[in-house]
Amino acid sequence: GQSLEQPSEVTAVEGAIVQINCTYQTSGFYGLSWYQQHDGGAPTFLSYNALDGLEETGRFSSFLSRSDSYGYLLLQELQMKDSASYFCATRGNQAGTALIFGKGTTLSVSS
């Protein structure tokens, strides 16, 4: 099976940088995705890493190290609207299966 571990909560202030870590255990690996979910809303896709290294999308970046079974989401220039839950996710242990999610990290940004 698969499991993904991430911290339950992270707090930061506006303008700061925060890193949300994710470690995974999978019998096969088909990349690591990140999703954002605001309170009461639906999850939305943020980024995806298939290979080692950093992927940058505006203020958000995602990093993957396959040898360490580890990835992280980096949020820069934090804004109040970034307060949300963030989930790492991977596909199942064979290609073409559904996404499996970590339990999520709640980010609280204060002024």
Partner 1 sequence: NAGVTQTPKFQVLKTGQSMTLQCAQDMNHEYMSWYRQDPGMGLRLIHYSVGAGITDQGEVPNGYNVSRSTTEDFPLRLLSAAPSQTSVYFCASSLTGLGNTEAFFGQGTRLTVV
Question: What residues line the site for partner 1 (CB under 8 A)?
Answer: 8, 30-31, 33, 35, 41-45, 48, 50, 87, 90-91, 95-104
What is the smallest separation between the CB atom of 89 and partner 1, expressed in angstroms?
Answer: 8
**Separation between Cα atoms, residue 81 and residue 12, nearest integer Å:** 12
Task: Decide whether 85 or 109 has the Cβ nearer to partner 1.
Answer: 85
Q: CB 85 → partner 1: shortest distance, Å?
A: 9
Dihedral in degrees, nearest 10, Cα atoms 20, 25, 27, 33: -10
Q: Which residues are registered as beta bridge partners of 65?
A: 70
Which of residues 75 and 102 has its CB atom nearest to partner 1 in the complex?
102
Q: Quick one: 18 or 104, whose CB is closer to partner 1? A: 104
Is 59 strand, coil or helix?
Answer: coil
CB of 76 to partner 1, least distance (A): 22
* Contact (CB, 8 A) for 44 and 37: yes
